[in-house]
Amino acid sequence: MGLWEAIRMGCEALQANRLRSALTILGTVVGVVAVVSVVSITQGLNRYVSQEILSMGSHIFSLDKYGFITSNEEYFEAARRKDLRSDDARYLQDHLTMAAAVVPTAHYTVDVLWEGRQAKDVALVGIGSGYAALGDEFDIACGRHLTYQEEATRRRSAVIGSDIAEELFGAVDAIGQRMRVGRESFWVVGVLKQRGAVLGTSRDNVVLMPITTFESIYGSRRSISIIIKAASPAVYEACQEEAMLLLKLRRGRQPWEPPDFGVQNSETYYAFYSRATSLFYLGMIAVVGLSVVVGGIVMMNIMLVAVTERTKEIGIRMAVGARRRDIMMQFLIEALALSSSGGILGVLLGALIAVLVNVLSPLPARVEFWSVFVGLCMAVGIGVVAGVYPAMRASRLAPVVALGYEK
């Protein structure tokens, strides 16, 4: 019996057993959809977060009063610490030997108004004038950056995020406009490039102003964080050591004592992220595992239920001259046709879900090639085992025994 003959016969059998075929495909689809969509979502998220964190630049770190707080005790301990002030930043600026930029930042939330239009809950950032060196998230779309002069003279100049530009000014050119930030009046000197959203929170709903201006309005008695960029990746570690040492000494601690301030860098962010999401991943793995098992069981079950009927069929075929390999070939082709069509359907559906999640939810999803591969292999693997194994056993029977199986 030729391959074509076997394929033609397989297709006939699948057509003749439409319900069984459909159910088997359904079982495959369930498993594959779960693998592809869940992997796409978790991997998309993971990739996105690591990109975000690593785009901070591998040689940037920041110092602040609290660091990553993970418990109440830590919080109360940290709250008793001395604040970090902008003169600390200035001190580090003057004494660090391996830093390319030292940028103090302070944060507040206000509403911003222009000609009766309002942007609510805007992230207000007082920032040192060296901020442009920190990375492309501070790139300007139009206008200019805040300058050192503006910092020195506490000018009421502001660089706004793209959301603010759109909400307040719309089609009007924002540069040179006067807007209200809280109770104060500011000139818009620049608009940032669009930065996009992290997990559904826009990062373009932001107003930057000189740190000095910020402190003259909101007071200098709040704790700031100091972002430091090392002169090069090579001196990154050394630069962190130097900054910590200088700050410890300045805060009256011994070099060997632990710091009474927090140090954050892409690694600490990443460690925090990993810790926070490991449970989530475990859950995802459980979901995937469960669907694979369910899909697999559904497939196996349907194929096994069919086996008594099929055993008689195998008996008939052997009685008229089918060899064992003819039987195996027929069942292999049937199983491959069912499982690969189920697998392909599952991949398409899983990809569709990933795309929908991407569009409709803040979770970034990305179809991973390897998940498609794993999904297809799984489908075909389970299909072949579930479809061919019973056939293999049946084809080993004496024809008369196989014939004895009544439907």
Partner 1 sequence: MSILETNNVSKQYQMGKVTVNALAGVDFNVEQSEFVAVMGPSGSGKSTLMNILGCLDTPTQGCYRLGGTDVRDLDDHQLSRLRNREIGFIFQTFNLLPRANARQNVELPLVYAGIAGAARRRLATSALDRVGLVDRTDHKPNELSGGERQRVAIARALVSDPSLLLADEPTGNLDSGTGEEIMRSLNRIWMEGRTVIVVTHAEEIARHTQRILRLHDGALVSDDRRPGDG
Residues near partner 1, by CB under 8 A: 1-2, 5, 9, 12-13, 16-17, 312-313, 315-324, 326, 398-401, 403, 407
Q: Which residues of 264-299 are buried (b: 16+ CB within 10 A; e: fewer)?
A: bbbebbeeebeeebeeeeeebeeebeebbeebbebb
As measured in angstroms, the least distance from the Cβ of 349 to partner 1 is 30
As measured in angstroms, the least distance from the Cβ of 329 to partner 1 is 11
User: Sign of dihedral through CA atoms 379, 382, 388, 391?
Assistant: negative
As measured in angstroms, the least distance from the Cβ of 303 to partner 1 is 17
User: Phi/psi at 124 (nearest 5 deg)?
Assistant: -95, 130
Q: Where are the alpha helices (DSSP H) in 84-222?
A: 86-95, 148-152, 162-164, 211-218
Question: Would you say 5 or 267 has its CB closer to partner 1?
Answer: 5
As measured in angstroms, the least distance from the Cβ of 359 to partner 1 is 45
Distances (CA, A) of 264 to 76, 267, 334, 389, 403: 19, 8, 58, 56, 74
Amino acid at 353: I
As measured in angstroms, the least distance from the Cβ of 13 to partner 1 is 8
Strand, coil or helix: 316? helix
Question: Would you say 20 or 59 has its CB closer to partner 1?
Answer: 20
Question: Would you say 135 or 399 has its CB closer to partner 1?
Answer: 399
How far is it, in rounded angstroms, from Cα 53 to Cα 51? 5
Distances (CA, A) of 67 to 264, 382, 383: 6, 49, 52
Contact by Cβ (8 Å): 230, 265: no
Q: Cα torsion at 219, 221, 227, 230 (round to 10°)?
A: 120
Distances (CA, A) of 366 to 30, 45, 275, 285, 288: 19, 8, 22, 17, 17
Question: Would you say 167 or 313 has its CB closer to partner 1?
Answer: 313
Distances (CA, A) of 90 to 19, 25, 202, 244, 393: 76, 67, 31, 15, 81
As measured in angstroms, the least distance from the Cβ of 20 to partner 1 is 11
Question: Would you say 16 or 171 has its CB closer to partner 1?
Answer: 16
Picking from 52, 50, 48, 55, the residue whose alpha carbon sits closest to that of residue 354 is 48
Question: Would you say 37 or 395 has its CB closer to partner 1?
Answer: 395
Question: Would you say 14 or 125 has its CB closer to partner 1?
Answer: 14
As measured in angstroms, the least distance from the Cβ of 383 to partner 1 is 21
As measured in angstroms, the least distance from the Cβ of 324 to partner 1 is 5
Question: Would you say 248 or 310 has its CB closer to partner 1?
Answer: 310
Residue whose token pair is 């009007």: 172
How far is it, in rounded angstroms, from Cα 166 to Cα 180? 16
As measured in angstroms, the least distance from the Cβ of 389 to partner 1 is 19
As measured in angstroms, the least distance from the Cβ of 407 to partner 1 is 8
Looking at residue 362, what DSSP letter applies?
S
As measured in angstroms, the least distance from the Cβ of 310 to partner 1 is 11
Neighbours of 1 (CB within 10 A): 14
Question: Would you say 220 or 308 has its CB closer to partner 1?
Answer: 308
Contact by Cβ (8 Å): 402, 394: yes
Question: Would you say 229 or 317 has its CB closer to partner 1?
Answer: 317
DSSP string covering 222-265: S--EEEEEESSGGGHHHHHHHHHHHHHHHTT--TTSPPSSEEEE
Question: Would you say 290 or 319 has its CB closer to partner 1?
Answer: 319
